[in-house]
Amino acid sequence: MMFGSTGPAPSIGESALGLARAVLMHGPISRGDLGRRLGLSPASLTRLSKPFLDSGLFVEVSDSQTSGVGRPTKPLDVRLDGRRFVGVKLTGDGAFGVLTDLRVNELASAHRRLDGRDVAGVVRQLCSLVLELANGAPLAALGVTVGGQVIGSRVVARAPFLAWRDVDLASALEAGLGIPVLVENDVVGLAAAEQWFGAGRRTASFAVVTVGIGVGYGLVINDQVISTRDSGLGLGGHVPLDADGPLCGSGHRGCSDAMLTQGSIRAQVSASLGREAEYDEVLALAAAGVPAALSVLQASGRALGRLVALIANIAMIDTVVLSGEGIGLWTVVADQIVAAAHGDRDAEATPVRISVDDTGTSSWARGAAAVAIQRTLTRFTVAD
Ligand SMILES: [Zn+2]
């Protein structure tokens, strides 16, 4: 089996790309379901499917549901071939990578602690990480996500945690690895992961809120992961949530950054205790009912619930996925989060469904792979 050109995507329309993505994410799927999902007539579906069937990307599978009356409907699926992808979540101090197949199943994982933040050094370490994961096998594409603003799936315009500005990360990695590289904001990548194989897979519209070093916010509307030029600016931070809260570094009282980041929570509890406390210890103290920790966490919980309600109200969605390395606070103050999320909604509004993804870095890295897979899916022709 060999894979065709990795050059620029052939010019196919948005409907064809949408069809390829839908079959990738939901296959095997009947033509009827596809038509309803994409708003396509049977004739359009047949026309748009043909090139993908001819190229080998799609296969028709036997329909076990066929009743024997009428002709078989032959649901469509992608051919799960030998293509391999790598997804990497890059942070200010490390890179976590996964090797996946076309359906973003994790086959291997590896981690690098960054030696420094200079671009050439980080690129070198990323290349080494990718080559270790590939283990000698060819890769179809690499996806890298980063906490920052990314332009055109290639250039990191602003990444505060790396102190980067206008870094053409995709070109540097492509030069080092010789494969297509897609770069994206990390919360956009996580939203793609939740949509495909996480808590968002059963709903067309949902939001993702992450708490950790910062507060992240991502949105999926009508099956589309929203990615704009401003997606990476951390617009989920600094939302006013508590008039009595502490100040953030920018001087806002009780903003989402001040109420929810691990650094702010640690600082508040450490000040009360009169000694430094790590985040995990803060959670343990709060769980044990130590007032200095519990009161801070409860205020954080109320603020997070309020943020969830605000997002649900403004975006008109009813499912919110919580994630991030600070989401351990859910285990301590879930009641406060849920109560505040419901309290700030109209009594007749659909109750907000809150899901927690505590799978850690794996979802972020698989999200990076998902971005690479979805955006290169139609570049390849498959031939035996
Ligand atoms: Zn602020």
The 10s digit of each residue's pLDDT in 44-87 is 999 999 999 998 889 999 876 545 555 667 899 998 888 999 99
Question: How large is the average pLDDT for residues 257-272?
Answer: 97
Could you give the 3-state DSSP secondary structure of residue 335?
helix
Which two tokens mark 30? 């009947």
For residue 161, the CA-to-ligand 1 centroid distance in Å is 17
Tell me which residue of 206, 136, 207, 140 sits closest to 377, measured CA to CA: 140
The 10s digit of each residue's pLDDT in 174-185 is 999 999 999 999
The answer to whether the beta carbons of residues 353 and 240 sit under 8 Å apart is no
SS percent in the chain: helix, strand, coil, step 5: 40, 20, 35
pLDDT tier for residue 165 given thresholds of 50, 70 and 90: very high
pLDDT at 317 over 80: yes
For residue 236, the CA-to-ligand 1 centroid distance in Å is 10
Residue 335 phi/psi, 5-degree rounding, is: -60, -45
Sign (positive/negative) of CA torsion 197, 199, 359, 213? positive
Distances 358 to 7, 214, 329, 335 between C-alpha atoms, Å? 37, 16, 11, 17
In the chain, where does the domain assigned CATH 1.10.10.10 lie?
A: 2-78
Which pLDDT does position 58 carry in this prediction? 92
Of residues 118 and 360, more confidence is placed in 118
Question: Could you tell me which CATH class the domain 2-78 is placed in?
Answer: mainly alpha
For residue 258, the CA-to-ligand 1 centroid distance in Å is 6
Tell me which residue of 99, 352, 94 sits closest to 206, measured CA to CA: 352
pTM: 0.89
Task: Give the chain's mean pLDDT.
Answer: 91
Strand (E) or helix (H) holding 175: helix 169-177
Which pLDDT does position 62 carry in this prediction? 82
Tell me which CATH code domain 85-191+363-383 carries: 3.30.420.40
Which pLDDT does position 181 carry in this prediction? 98
**What is the C-alpha end-to-end distance of the chain, expressed in Å?**
4
For residue 239, the CA-to-ligand 1 centroid distance in Å is 7
Question: How large is the average pLDDT for residues 95-104?
Answer: 96
Helices and strands counted in the chain (H then E): 12, 17
For ion ligand 1, residues whose CB falls within 5 Å? 238, 248, 250, 252, 255, 257
Return d(Cα 7, Cα 129) in angstroms, integer: 24
Distances 357 to 191, 198, 232, 260, 319 between C-alpha atoms, Å? 11, 8, 21, 17, 13
For residue 320, the CA-to-ligand 1 centroid distance in Å is 22
The answer to whether the beta carbons of residues 87 and 367 sit under 8 Å apart is yes
For residue 259, the CA-to-ligand 1 centroid distance in Å is 9
Tell me which residue of 162, 43, 168, 2 sits closest to 92, measured CA to CA: 162
Tell me which residue of 305, 285, 348, 143 sits closest to 227, measured CA to CA: 143
Could you give the 3-state DSSP secondary structure of residue 42?
helix
The answer to whether the beta carbons of residues 256 and 303 sit under 8 Å apart is yes
Give all strands of the β-sheet with 164-168 in edge-to-edge order: 149-151, 155-159, 164-168
Question: How large is the average pLDDT for residues 229-256?
Answer: 93
Residue type, 104: V
For residue 243, the CA-to-ligand 1 centroid distance in Å is 12
For residue 253, the CA-to-ligand 1 centroid distance in Å is 7
Q: The tokens 């600016």 sit on which residue?
A: 233
For residue 241, the CA-to-ligand 1 centroid distance in Å is 10
The 10s digit of each residue's pLDDT in 141-159 is 999 999 999 999 999 999 9
The answer to whether the beta carbons of residues 317 and 331 sit under 8 Å apart is no
Question: How large is the average pLDDT for residues 272-293?
Answer: 97
Which pLDDT does position 380 carry in this prediction? 57
Return d(Cα 125, Cα 235) in angstroms, integer: 30
Domain 204-356, classified CATH 3.30.420.40, yes or no: yes
pLDDT at 253 over 50: yes
In the chain, where does the domain assigned CATH 3.30.420.40 lie?
A: 85-191+363-383, 204-356
